[in-house]
Chains A and B, each alone.
Chain A
Amino acid sequence: MADLFHNLILGFGVAVSPVNLMLCLIGALVGTLVGVLPGIGTIATVAMLLPITFGLPPVGALIMLAGIYYGAQYGGSTTSILVNIPGEATSVVTTLDGFQMAKQGRAGPALAIAAIGSFIAGCAATVLIALLGAPLTKFALAFGPAEYFSLMVLGLIFAVVLAKGSVLKAIAMIVFGLLLSMVGSDIETGASRMAFNIPELADGLGFATVAMGVFGFAEIIRNLDTGAEMDRELVQQKITGLMPTKKDMMESLPAIFRGTVLGSILGILPGGGAVIASFAAYTFEKKISREPQKFGRGAISGVAAPESANNAAAQTSFIPLLTLGIPPNAVMALMVGAMTIHGIVPGPQVMQKQPDLVWGMIASMWIGNLMLIIINLPLVGIWVRLLRVPYRLMFPSIVVFCAIGIYSVNNAPVDVILAGAFGLVGYWLIKHDFEPAPLLLGMVLGPLMEENLRRALLISRGDWSVFITRPLSAVLIAAAAGLLVLAVLPTLRRKRDEVFVEG
């Protein structure tokens, strides 16, 4: 317990320094700003803005990136409520009741409750991270390569099972990502693999490059398909009366708490369940509600619960990243990318060797959530105006901004062309209903998995049974296998699809 307070004090000490406060504020603001722009999801936002943090010191860069992340998420909720376009998968369910509320002229309370719910969830999640951080780190230090490998397998399986869509296709995407991560130099022998003597590929495919391609460029191209004038039913009413009434609060508070609990639990799972958390929270609220018929017609708890759940999950998904070094979802994968660029290898060692970095970031998350609530409610008017920016002007801007951003990472023109190529790959993936997020996850975990697999087999002298004879590893592998079997069983699959049916 004393440890906890000590850590949190250390963290807040780092986070409230004027520079870091500024970075947190800028991150949250810019994140919201870009997140609000229609057609740009959270992952694309973080990928796009990644280069602007490169010039900063590591702590500042991570604080700013975290700010961008939850800013973007909040921006996504704003578009869900105001224009019925979910910025990303986690706010799909928010559109159901949020947009209805907006149509009834209650956009203000809907936005406010989304912010308040997110803040409460954020507070709980911050404490949870602080509580679980240290013990999990100790636990992680006991891991050998075999355990790490098994844990990553479990994480990837979780990511597949908790996601929407076909399990088979998601696994295929993960393996595609793993394969892409093999491009470049072999860690141990230095042999050049699948690089075709292109010097820029010698270091491997940068995943800022791939991420911007499959999430940024591909999205743009896809959106152009439907015509630049996307069908946007912007709520025309003026937003008046921002604050929710007492009755609204009474209705949403319990929903917020339930959403927070659900989201926190699902977020810790190595699969990172922000998406499923928001869907599950909505379904749950609807089930236990005394007036389920109100859902879909502007029920405020239908906004409060999923918004709290996705924010809680978004934050607790930092736990596997910070303690185990395993990114549970695509956004965390980008965070790993950012850390690597700053020379930090995420994992239990970071928690021990650079506590100021980890705890500073955790504390700044709480501050960032507070900032979101303070700055965003008065700024709703500006966000609404941003939503009116026509796509025909926005998309060339995004193209150029992304191109400059990718170029700035390594000053390499080849990277820009590669990102363009991955844009086309991403477009193709979308057309064939393959999710790009597992691909990115596979790409980040690829080198880690290979390294641990190699080391595990080296230690066991080539004996593959090491993964099932070491008890901890066996448990993890068994869990992964069990999960996979459950996911393809018809009964459970139906249940899983049911959760997503609301979207």
Chain B
Amino acid sequence: MSDTPGGPPRQSVAPKWVRGPQDFVGGIVLMGVALFALWASSDLQGMHGFTFGPGTAPRMFAVLLLGLGAAVMITGLVSEGPKLAHYSWRGPLFVSLAIIFFAVAIRPLGLVVSGFAAFLISALGTPETRWVETIIVGICLTVGCALLFPYVLGLPMPLFPQFLVR
């Protein structure tokens, strides 16, 4: 992803002439997204006489976003604004890991295993987790979801690991 948060969050990084680092960086990233979109849609056909090609609208919006991003950036340059906010790593990391694990595991391992494991992984996202209660709640939630989605709502999905079912 070109637009995931990155870079050091400390405000001391921003030079003095940037008066609103939050908007300044925000605008630059939006411009980056726009440039990325321009590149990604560059292989598409553009205007064809007076009819739109598939690439016309994406490029139009990308150029618009480029301009708006630049405007936001300039706002950050010329007017006093908030500093960069502080990012923490623990929550985003473990919540993302849990989501990725679930996505990878749902097909081969089924809802019960991947759901419960994802629950435990995301619980690592805060130092305040108490493991006994977390495990109990995790079991209850997994059982609840295993009943709710496939049976009550009729949305079919694998429940148990494939090698066990076979």
Contacts and interface: CB of A to CB of B under 8 A. Distances in A.
Given A196-B40, A421-B1, A432-B25, A224 B125 contact: yes
B95 A217 contact: yes
Interface in B112-166: 115, 118-120, 122-123, 125-126, 128-130, 133-134, 137-138, 141-142, 145, 148-149, 153-157
B44 interface: yes
Interface string B1-37: 1011100000000000000001101100110011001
A416 B155 contact: no
B138 A396 contact: yes
Nearest to A455: B52
A397 B141 contact: yes
Interface residues of B, number: 80
Nearest to B1: A421
Contacts of A501: none
Interface string A17-49: 000000000000000000000000000000000
A378 B126 CA distance: 35
Contact of A399 (B62, B88, B122): B122
Nearest to A224: B91
A433 B92 contact: no
B136 to A, nearest CB: 9
Interface in A260-296: none
Interface in A305-322: none
A350 interface: no
B27 to A, nearest CB: 8
Contact of A55 (B23, B52, B85, B155): B155
A417 B100 contact: yes
A248 interface: no
Main secondary structure of the interface of B (DSSP, over half): helix
Nearest to A401: B145
Contact of A392 (B26, B72, B123): B123
B94 to A, nearest CB: 9
A257 interface: no
B72 A417 contact: no
Main secondary structure of the interface of A (DSSP, over half): helix
Nearest to A398: B122
Contact of A221 (B1, B91, B141, B157): B91
A453 interface: yes
A395 B120 CA distance: 11
B77 interface: no
Contacts of A55: 153-155
A148 interface: no
Contacts of A172: 30, 65, 68-69, 71-72
Size category, A interface: 35 or more
Interface string A168-196: 11011001101100100010110101101
A463 B87 CA distance: 49
Nearest to B27: A172
B61 A171 contact: no
11 contacts: A54-B153, A193-B41, A193-B54, A224-B91, A224-B125, A399-B95, A404-B149, A407-B102, A413-B107, A432-B25, A463-B50
The 5 nearest A-B residue pairs measured at CB: A462-B50, A224-B91, A420-B99, A186-B54, A432-B26
Interface of B: 1, 3-5, 22-23, 25-26, 29-30, 33-34, 37, 40-41, 44-45, 49-55, 57-58, 61-62, 64-65, 68-69, 71-72, 75, 82, 84-88, 90-92, 95-96, 98-100, 102-104, 106-107, 111, 115, 118-120, 122-123, 125-126, 128-130, 133-134, 137-138, 141-142, 145, 148-149, 153-157
Interface of A: 51-52, 54-55, 166, 168-169, 171-172, 175-176, 178-179, 182, 186, 188-189, 191, 193-194, 196, 217, 220-221, 224-225, 227-229, 392-393, 395-397, 399-401, 403-404, 407-408, 411, 413-414, 416-417, 419-421, 423-425, 427-428, 431-434, 446, 450, 453-454, 457-458, 461-463
Given A168-B68, A427-B92, A462-B50, 15 more contacts: A172-B68, A175-B61, A179-B33, A179-B58, A179-B61, A186-B54, A189-B54, A228-B128, A396-B118, A403-B102, A403-B115, A404-B145, A419-B99, A428-B4, A463-B50
